[in-house]
Chains A and B, each alone.
Chain A
Amino acid sequence: MSIRTKVAALALAAAVVALAVEVAGGDPQVATLAVLAAGVAIGELVVLHPQGRAALPLSFAVFTVLVRAGSPVQVVVVVVAAELVASVLRAGPISVRTRAVLFAERCAEAFAAGAVYNLVTTLGRNREELGVVVLALTLAAIAPVVVADLVAYARHREIAPFRARSADLAIVTSGILMAVGYDGIDGDGRLGLWGPILFSIPLIAAWYSFELLASTRRSFEQTVQALAAAPELGGLVREGHADRVAELADSMGRVLDLSSSDLERLRTAALLHHLGAVCLDEPDEGFTLDPVEVAMAGANMLRASEVLAPAGDVVAAEPLLHRPPGVADPPPAALPGMILKVASAYDELTEGDDAHASWAVEALYTGPGYVYDGRVLGALERVLVRRGVLDAR
């Protein structure tokens, strides 16, 4: 069953329950909670995939509405029921253990939102004042994100950087707005369930944009990788060379504090730095292709397009000497090219096997001083030490 079908089924089930309660003259709160339970389950299936941080479910925004709409007991019941349904419906080959862990995590996140909301409203003496309501809702909207961060830190000892938090902001602001739309402030702007439904539209627009971005990023990266694989499949370059060099160059670039745009062009350049080999005539038996010609042929191809031209510049800089005799300092813009040069040379020396790391680093250091940049070699060493394939000096 596709996600779309599951979402439609959940929405339909909620509508049927709400209608049945309405027709039977039952407690409208039951209908509200049924719709919000469906909202939580749907929000678990519809997930934001921003770059540079773990996925964020839209259910975080629904939690904020739920803690405002229900009593603590109702919140617990709705969250447990909705998360159980979501655990079953979640797509992909996920083990029962993983589903159980995710269930517990989501419950903790929802309960944290409820606890914070009730704490603030209690401290504010349950006044329906703008300041109290907005503060309570803001903290309730942030609480699930904080709990998710703590879980991520406990698992990976890493927290997503601030610059990768735009999706968090969309979830938090939409959650507050949806909850405000549900019950208004002091009687004003109360839209009932239409509030969260209507004010989820900007969040859904954000989700759609992130989905487009994620799928296009995946296909772009795969296209570049596929193009990079052509010289390898043709036997012109050692298999896996482009991927290994890209990964190593990326790590070295991070050590050297390259900007994200520099890292991006370095990665593309590393993947495609041997593409030029396919354009040149095959050398005679016993001869190899001239690396400068290979680099320039590849660079020219990349430079012909505006988008890939920066990567072309890096490829063109790769065969250049770090410090040609008679030249005082290398051009600073050439740093990504120098990184690519060292990463590529390291991979060729080790033949893709880190077991030769120590020997290869030694060989790079003992080469003529104007060939490789000392800082870049230092970055290579740090990356290899971190990988555990080289002893720290």
Chain B
Amino acid sequence: MTREASSRFTAYCIGIFVAALALCVGFYLGGQRPPIDQVLILGLLFAVAENRSVELPNKSSLSASLMIAMTAIVLFSAPAPNLGPLVVGLCGGLYLPQLRSRDWRKVLFNSANFGLSSLAASALFELIVPTAPAPAFLLAASIPVALLYSLANSALLVPAMSMLTHRSLADVSQEMWVSDIQILPFGFLGVLLGELYLNLDGWVVPLFVAPIFIARQAFASYLQLRAAQEATLSTLVRALESKDRYTAGHVERVARFSQYMGQELGFRQSRLERLRYAALMHDIGKLIVPNQILNKPGKLTAAEYDRMRHHEFVSVEVLRRIDFLAPVVPSIEADHSGGSDPNSSLEARIILVADAFDAMTSTRAYRRALTQEVAFAELRDKAGSQFDAECVDALVRSIEAKREIYGAGFEGDVADFKAPPPTTGTGSAGLGDLAQDSERVS
């Protein structure tokens, strides 16, 4: 960060923090007196919630602090509708890593941001919620209030991120203006806790917060395991890469094309993920093919060819051992036998098309890559017989919509071949008819 940008960021942090403090003093002088014990309990919970936030795979974070802000809004509605939520929100800046590293600017900024966002949400709550509302009305009111909290939070964050990352406000806004629905349950729970606190006092807070904290711990462990799962698949790709650079690139591209088709066919996120894993693992059997055979420039002997073909059996056997991938095993079997089984799962048929498309649009020692148009034409020609027509359409539509081009002249990883590959030849995915038998290499 340049000195000028750093100074601007410092001024911005101090500015909004001083504004928040000034508002605190103003509300206090105006006669608002939130009960100190309630402020301490909720302030502590707000800080704990922020310190225990969970980072999601999309780099956003999930925190229960909105729930505490909503509790404060409900709880302090009568005695201190502005000062209570503002002070509780200010405690959210007490983020231990930033305190330890003495990053005071971020501490001030976060404190002010949470405080002012809580204040804005509280103002809306006071505006739309009458005295002694029905519980159902209160729960419904939590939706716009929570959304305004999120909006105010982003509005203060965008200039800060713009200064820190040297990007325009518009650029940062596109990433930050996320009024995602994941915050709404927290708003709902916060209102419930606030009502409970009002009626039964603070002893209910641990009872309410304990299962949420436990849910958070389990969710964080789930995210860690997901990362471990991803790491294991990366290890697989690296293992393939260490043997044969083409195969590693191939499985990654097959995974990408499969995802394109899955998205086009309206798969949900979890199904897309399963499809990607299956596609990444569809050639796992190649791990057991000796390097000498996999990278042999010349013709394979009959024994070597048998060992090469053994990888198909291994791929199937390995995938069978993973419950959530078992439904796609038929695709691997069909892939290796060179035809699509109409009774196999949709995932299976997708991988078959992705595998064939990549085989045609990649250059191998035995054949140069075809152009995208030729590959599309070949897929369309065999749609309904060798390939699932719906999957072929989905792939073509998706690639055309993304304006991506694959095939001859657009390959990402072309290996250096000692002899130029012929323009025709066999590929995987049962595309043997692209070559004459006499031209087959293996």
Name A's B-contacting residues (CB within 8 A): 50, 130, 134, 166-167, 169-170, 173-174, 176-177, 180-181, 184-185, 188-189, 191, 194, 198-199, 201-203, 205-206, 208-210, 212-213, 215-220, 222-227, 229-231, 233-236, 272, 275, 278-282, 297, 301-302, 304-308
Q: Which residues of B contact A215 (CB under 8 A)?
A: 324
> Are A201's CB and B232's CB within 8 A?
no
Smallest beta-carbon distance A103→chain B, Å: 27
* Residue in A173, A220, A235, A281 whose beta carbon sits within 8 Å of that of B229 in the complex: A220
In the bound complex, do residue A225 and residue B211 qualify as a contact, i.e. CB atoms below 8 Å apart? no
B233 to A170, Cβ gap below 8 A?
Answer: no
Partner of A180, one of B204, B221, B281, B318: B204
A223 x B243 contact (CB < 8 A): no
Tell me whether B231 and A305 are in contact (CB under 8 A). Answer: yes
**Given the complex, which residues of B lie within 8 Å of A177, measured CB to CB?**
196, 204, 207-208
Q: Is the CB of A209 within 8 A of B222?
A: yes
Of A218, A223, A234, the residue contacting B287 (CB under 8 A) is: A234
Contacts of A209 in B (CB 8 A): 214-219, 222
Which of A130, A202, A226 meets B211, CB within 8 Å?
A: A202
With contacts A201-B189, A281-B291 taken as known, whether A233 is within 8 angstroms of B317 at the C-beta atoms is yes
> With a CB–CB cut-off of 8 A, which chain A residues contact B313?
233
Question: Contact between B206 and A173 (Cβ–Cβ < 8 Å)?
Answer: yes
Pairs across A and B, CB under 8 Å, 28 listed: A166-B214, A177-B204, A177-B208, A184-B199, A202-B215, A209-B214, A209-B215, A209-B218, A209-B222, A213-B219, A215-B324, A216-B229, A219-B229, A220-B229, A220-B232, A222-B321, A222-B322, A223-B277, A226-B318, A227-B232, A227-B235, A231-B287, A233-B285, A233-B313, A234-B288, A280-B291, A304-B235, A305-B234
Inter-chain contact B239/A217, CB cutoff 8 Å? no
Cα of A331 to Cα of B295 in the assembled complex, Å: 41
Find out whether the CB atom of A278 lies under 8 angstroms from the CB atom of B239: yes
CA distance A201 to B221 in the complex (A): 20
What is the bound-complex CA distance between A230 and B285, given in angstroms?
7
Residue B83 lies at the interface, judged by CB distance under 8 Å to chain A: no
CB of B220 to closest CB in A, whole Å:
9
Beyond A173-B208, A213-B221, A275-B239: 14 further Cβ-contacts under 8 Å?
A166-B218, A173-B207, A177-B196, A180-B207, A181-B196, A201-B185, A202-B211, A205-B211, A205-B215, A220-B225, A231-B287, A278-B287, A281-B290, A305-B235
Tell me if B181 counts as interface (CB < 8 A to partner A).
no
User: Whole-angstrom distance from the CB of B289 to the nearest CB of chain A?
Assistant: 8
B225 touches A216 (CB 8 A): yes
Q: Is B211's CB under 8 angstroms from A203's CB?
A: yes
B79 at the interface (CB under 8 A from A): no
Q: How far is the CA of A172 from the CA of B332 in the complex (A)?
A: 47
Query: Which chain A positions have C-beta within 8 A of B188?
Result: 201
User: Once bound together, how far apart are the Cα atoms of A227 and B319, in whole Å?
Assistant: 10
B212 within 8 A of A: yes
Residues of chain B touching chain A, judged by Cβ–Cβ distance below 8 Å, are: 135, 185, 188-189, 192, 196, 199-200, 203-204, 206-208, 210-212, 214-219, 221-222, 224-236, 238-239, 242-243, 277, 281, 284-285, 287-292, 310, 313-314, 317-319, 321-324
Closest beta carbon of chain B to A128's beta carbon, Å: 13
Whether A279 contacts B243 in the complex (CB less than 8 A), given A202-B211, A230-B318, comes out as yes
One of A201, A216, A225 near B226 (C-beta < 8 A): A216
Inter-subunit contact A301/B239 (CB<8 Å):
yes
How long is the Cα–Cα vector from A166 to B217 in the complex, in angstroms? Answer: 9
* CB–CB A279/B242 < 8 A: yes
Tell me if B211 and A170 are in contact (CB < 8 A): yes
Q: How far is the CA of A281 from the CA of B218 in the complex (A)?
A: 43
Does the CB pair A308–B288 fall under 8 Å? no
A235 to chain B, nearest CB (A): 8
Complex Cα–Cα for A215 and B325 (A): 13
The 7 lowest CB-CB distance pairs between A and B, nearest first, are A234-B288, A189-B199, A209-B218, A305-B231, A202-B211, A206-B215, A307-B231
Q: Which residues of B contact A167 (CB under 8 A)?
A: 214
Q: Which among A184, A210, A236 has the highest number of chain B CB atoms within 10 Å?
A: A210
With A222-B322, A231-B288, A236-B288: A279-B229 Cβ-Cβ less than 8 Å: no
When chains A and B are docked, how far (Å) is the Cα of A194 from the Cα of B226? Answer: 36
Name the CB-closest residue of A to B317. Answer: A233
- In the complex, the answer to whether A180 meets B200 with C-beta atoms within 8 Å is yes
Smallest CB separation, B68 vs chain A (Å): 14
Contact yes or no, B290 A212, CB < 8 A:
no
Contacts of B215 in A (CB 8 A): 170, 202, 205-206, 208-209
B292 contacts A281, C-beta separation under 8 Å: yes
- Residue A282 contacts which of B200, B212, B231, B292 (CB distance < 8 angstroms)? B292
Max chain A Cβ within 10 angstroms of own Cβ: one of B206, B207, B222, B231: B207
A42 to B212, CA, bound (A): 21
A206/B135 in contact, CB under 8 A: no
Asked if B185 and A230 sit within 8 Å, CB to CB, the answer is no
The interface centre, meaning the residue of A181, A213, A281, A306 with most chain B CB atoms within 10 A of its CB, is: A213
- Complex-state Cα separation, A296 to B3, whole angstroms: 46
Assess whether A308 is in contact with B232, with CB atoms less than 8 Å apart. Answer: yes
Residue among A174, A233, A279 with max Cβ neighbours from chain B (10 Å) = A233
With a CB–CB cut-off of 8 A, which chain A residues contact B322?
219, 222-223, 226
Asked whether, in the complex, the Cβ of A212 is within 8 Å of the Cβ of B222, the reply is yes
Whether the pair A202, B292 counts as a contact (CB closer than 8 A) is no
Given the known interface contacts A213-B221, A226-B318, A281-B292, the answer about A188 and B200 at a Cβ–Cβ threshold of 8 Å is: yes
Which residues of the other chain, B, contact A189 by a CB distance below 8 angstroms?
Answer: 196, 199-200
Known: A189-B199, A202-B211. A224 touches B232 (CB 8 A): yes
Output the least CB separation between B233 and chain A (Å): 7
Roughly how many angstroms separate A224 CA and B230 CA in the complex, as a whole number? 11
B239 in contact with A210 (CB, 8 Å): no
A212 to B218, CA, bound (A): 8
Q: Which residues of A contact B277 (CB under 8 A)?
A: 223
Q: How far is the CB of B67 from chain A (nearest CB, A)?
A: 10
A265 and B214 alpha carbons, distance in the complex (Å): 24
Shortest A53–chain B CB gap in Å is 13
Please pick, from B135, B210, B281, B288, the residue contacting A170 in the complex, using a CB distance under 8 A: B210
- In the bound assembly, the distance between CA atoms of A188 and B204 in angstroms comes to 13
CA–CA, A305 to B237, complex, Å?
A: 12
Q: Contacts A166-B217, A208-B215, A234-B314; is A217 near B243 (CB within 8 Å)?
A: no
Chain B residues with CB under 8 A of A205: 185, 211-212, 215
Tell me how far the C-beta of B235 lies from the nearest C-beta in chain A, rounded to whole angstroms. Answer: 5
* B187 vs chain A, min Cβ distance (A): 12
**A205 to B204, alpha carbons, bound, how many Å?**
18
Residue in B231, B236, B238 whose beta carbon sits within 8 Å of that of A306 in the complex: B231
Q: Is the CB of A225 within 8 A of B321?
A: yes
Q: How far is the CB of A379 from chain B (nearest CB, A)?
A: 27
The CA of A218 and the CA of B203, in the complex, are separated in Å by 38
